[in-house]
Amino acid sequence: MYKIMSCVGYKYRKSGGRRIIMNKRKKRFTDYIWIISLTYLALGFFNILFAWIGLLCFLIPLIISLSGHGKTYCNIYCGRGQMLDLMGNKLKLSKNRDIPKFLRSKWFRYGFLTFFITMFVVMLFNTYLVFKGTNGLKEAVQLLWTFKVPWAWTNTSMVTPWVTQFAFGFYSMMLTSTILGIITMLLYKPKSWCVYCPMGTMTQLISKAKYSDKSNTSCNSCSGCSSKVS
Ligand code: SF4
């Protein structure tokens, strides 16, 4: 007995721990959303103000989930998920190991979500201080909430400083989560980041609250992250 599963662009079955590709399905435009994610990250190097576009990655999954479509964003529209999948599976950059149990545990996933939201609120507060004139604009991207990378080469004179400060803060979060996603992809299965991705956890929670039918609350069965998120 084997289970047929699907991943970006193909169907496969698992046999003895190996994936056997059965047939390629026709590519859809939704298979290329990873290009948008990559472009977004690149645009931040040219002008930090493009970071504002990333708000869509926060709002769209929540809207989809709240409007009754469960994890559709994760399963079809998430460019980052696709990017990690392609890097891990197509480019074979992943060690393909199972993610440690503690990363899959509820306390870690909810703890990380809480930490992420707290950092988001701190970032909003810093933006507010610049808006009030209490603090000056800090032209730096903060990676992993620790390392400040000077980022003063972009021209942001056309907007008020708080708009730029928000862009720096938001881009820092997007870049940090991408780095964590890539590290987890390299060390474990390609989509292991999805196990503790704050957006994934939030849409999971919303779906759980909305439905008693659990079939609408989980990711598709690509098993890339080896998670059975409960
Ligand atoms: S869990 Fe996060 S990274 Fe993974 S598919 Fe969902 S939103 Fe994208």
Domain edges within the chain? 35-211
The average pLDDT across 19-48 equals 85
The residue whose CA is least distant from atom 5 of ligand 1 is: 74
48 pocket-lining for ligand 1 (C-beta < 6 Å): no
Residue 224 has pLDDT above 90, yes or no: no
Which pLDDT value is given to residue 229? 38
For 224, list phi and psi in degrees, rounded to 5.
-60, -35
Position in ligand 1 atom list of the atom nearest CA 225:
4
29 pLDDT band, cuts 50/70/90, is confident
One DSSP character per residue, 188-222 reads S-TTTHHHH-HHHHHHHHHHHHH-S-GGGSS--TT
pLDDT at position 112 = 97
Q: Report helix, strand or coil for 20.
A: strand
The tokens for 192 are 């292991």
Q: How far is the CA of 69 from the centre of ligand 1 (A)?
A: 15
Q: Does the beta carbon of 80 sit less than 6 angstroms from any atom of ligand 1?
A: yes
Which pLDDT belongs to residue 193?
A: 97
Banded model confidence at residue 2, pLDDT cuts 50, 70, 90: very low
C-beta 198 within 6 A of ligand 1: no
What average pLDDT does range 132-145 have in this prediction? 94
pTM above 0.75, yes or no: yes
Least confident of 18-32, 108-122, 197-211: 18-32
Tens digits of residue pLDDT in 157-208: 899 999 999 999 999 999 999 999 999 999 999 999 999 999 999 999 998 8
Q: What is the mean pLDDT of the chain?
A: 86
What b/e sequence results for 22-53 when a residue is b if at least 16 CB atoms lie within 10 Å of its CB, and e otherwise?
A: eeeeeeeeeeebbebbbebbebbeeebbbbeb
Check if the beta carbon of residue 139 is closer than 8 Å to that of residue 150.
yes
pLDDT band for position 99 (50/70/90)? very high
What's the CA gap between 91 and 73, in Å, rounded? 24
Residue 10 has pLDDT above 70, yes or no: no
Using the mean position of ligand 1's atoms as its centre, give its distance from the Cα of residue 153 in Å.
31
